[in-house]
Amino acid sequence: MARDDNNKGKILGVSTEGYSPDAQTAVNSLLDEFERLKAELRDKQDKVSELETVAAEDPLVPLLNRRGFLRELNRALAYARRYDAHMCIVFLDLDKFKDINDRFGHATGDVALKLVANTLLDNLRESDIVGRIGGDEFALVLWNTDRKTAIVKAKALVAAVAGATLVTPEGRVPLSATAGVSEAGNEDSAESVLSRADTEMYAAKKP
């Protein structure tokens, strides 16, 4: 490994004057090995980071999976507690999704999920967080949003999904969804705030 001439006669900033040539060669060899191991460690860390990213992504749609979403939700809750920020969760579930799979097959069902995922992304801010946390279940974190505003936004998202018509071999099939909202509190965990939004969503599905 080439060394800077300005550092000639020094190792890690310490003068090597008086070292025998063999000693300097041995130390330089150790430093070369040290640099190689550092580079190898950086490479492994990059690979671990890449694997963590893949593990947090949904394999079908361009969203976080449940694991990734809960990780980001926990981070968001910690931030909200520290800075006393408003934050709401929206739990959105497709209506009668099983009927689509049964009638048109799972491939068409996958197309529907991708359509919904992209519709949500198109109607959210870059700072918001969205994930697919179940088969046809989606969850969102709305930053700096109180409950009243989040309810309005949830209704707008439901309307956007309804406007994203699914094209099938038998023609166009309308989609619909139901949403529930919960506002995060200081004592909330990721699971508790998500569970409340889930409960509100199921309550909204009732006739």
As for how many domains the chain has, the answer is: 2
- pLDDT tens digit at each of 207 positions of the chain: 444 544 544 555 555 566 677 777 777 777 777 677 677 666 655 544 444 444 789 999 999 999 999 999 999 999 999 999 999 999 999 999 999 999 999 999 999 999 999 999 999 999 999 999 999 999 999 999 999 999 999 999 999 999 998 998 889 999 999 999 999 999 999 999 999 999 999 999 987
Do 118 and 37 reside in the same domain of the chain? no
* 182 φ/ψ angles, rounded to the nearest 5 degrees: -140, 145
Q: Do residues 120 and 138 lie in contact, with contact meaning Cβ atoms separated by under 8 Å?
A: yes
Closest CA to 27 of 3, 47, 6: 3
Q: Does residue 6 fall inside a structural domain?
A: no
Write out the catalytic residue numbers.
136
Do 71 and 39 reside in the same domain of the chain? no
Do 43 and 105 reside in the same domain of the chain? no
* 35 φ/ψ angles, rounded to the nearest 5 degrees: -65, -40
Full residue range of the structural domain in which residue 36 is found? 13-56
